């Protein structure tokens, strides 16, 4: 993976050991990237070296009236996540992600597996707020 082609001006996608969190509709790499961050059903934590998936449930945050996004950031920070793949994150979650030093990469309308593969190729744009 070391030769990942970062686009011009883009920072390297991760620093090892990498653990990429993806907002997911379901439990497998073949499930879609969820359109929302704080209220996604699951986060799949993917090791890009092995494509091994650890599933974490976001039930605790998705049901709350407010603060779902920042709660999800805290959950990911506790698990040592080093990058997030999401369709979009809201402004408060984006602020929390900056504090947690977790960069965000945008992906939409693809499976989790496709998104991580694109991330590894340096094919996802880094965004603070999509």
Partner 1 sequence: MTPVTVAVASGKGGTGKTLVATNLAAHVARTGLRVTLADCDVEAPNAHLFFDVRAAVAPVEMPVPEIVGACPARCTACRDACRFGAIRILGGRPVVLPDLCHGCGACTQVCPSGALHERQVAVGSVGVGRAPDGMRLVTGQLHVGQSKAPAVIRATREHALSEVSDVVLLDAAPGAACTAVAAVHGTDFLLLVTEPTPFGLHDLTAMVDLAGELRLRAGVVLNRVGTGEVDIGAYCRTAGVPLLASLPFDRDVAACYADGRLLIDGHPAGDRWFADLWSTLCDHLATSSAGVPA
> DSSP 3-state assignment of 127?
strand
Shortest distance, position 64 Cβ to partner 1, whole Å: 7
Nearer to partner 1, 88 or 92 (CB): 92
As a dihedral over the C-alpha atoms of residue 72, residue 12, residue 118, residue 62, rounded to 10 degrees, the angle is 0
- Using only C-alpha atoms, what is the Rg of the chain? 13
Q: Which residues bind partner 1 (CB under 8 A)?
A: 64, 66-68, 70-71, 73-74, 77-78, 92, 95-96, 99-101
Shortest distance, position 38 Cβ to partner 1, whole Å: 10
Shortest distance, position 21 Cβ to partner 1, whole Å: 14
Nearer to partner 1, 98 or 125 (CB): 98
Shortest distance, position 78 Cβ to partner 1, whole Å: 7
Nearer to partner 1, 27 or 92 (CB): 92
Contact 96, 90 (CB under 8 A): no
Nearer to partner 1, 99 or 108 (CB): 99
Interatomic CA distance for residues 22 and 36, integer angstroms: 11
Q: Report CA-CA distances (Å) from 19 to 74, 91, 92, 130.
A: 15, 23, 22, 21
């Amino acid at each position: 993976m070391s030769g990942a082609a970062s686009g011009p001006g883009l920072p390297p996608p991760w620093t090892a050991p990498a653990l990429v969190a993806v907002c997911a509709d379901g439990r497998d790499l073949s499930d879609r990237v969820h359109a929302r961050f704080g209220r996604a059903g699951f986060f799949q934590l993917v090791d890009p070296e092995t494509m091994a998936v650890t599933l974490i449930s976001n039930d605790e945050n998705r049901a709350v009236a407010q603060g779902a996004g920042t709660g999800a950031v805290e959950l990911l920070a506790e698990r040592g996540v080093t990058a997030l793949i999401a369709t979009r994150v809201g402004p408060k979650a984006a602020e929390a992600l900056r504090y947690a030093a977790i960069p965000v990469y945008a992906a939409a309308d693809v499976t989790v597996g496709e998104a991580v593969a694109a991330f590894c190729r340096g094919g996802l744009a880094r965004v603070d707020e999509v």
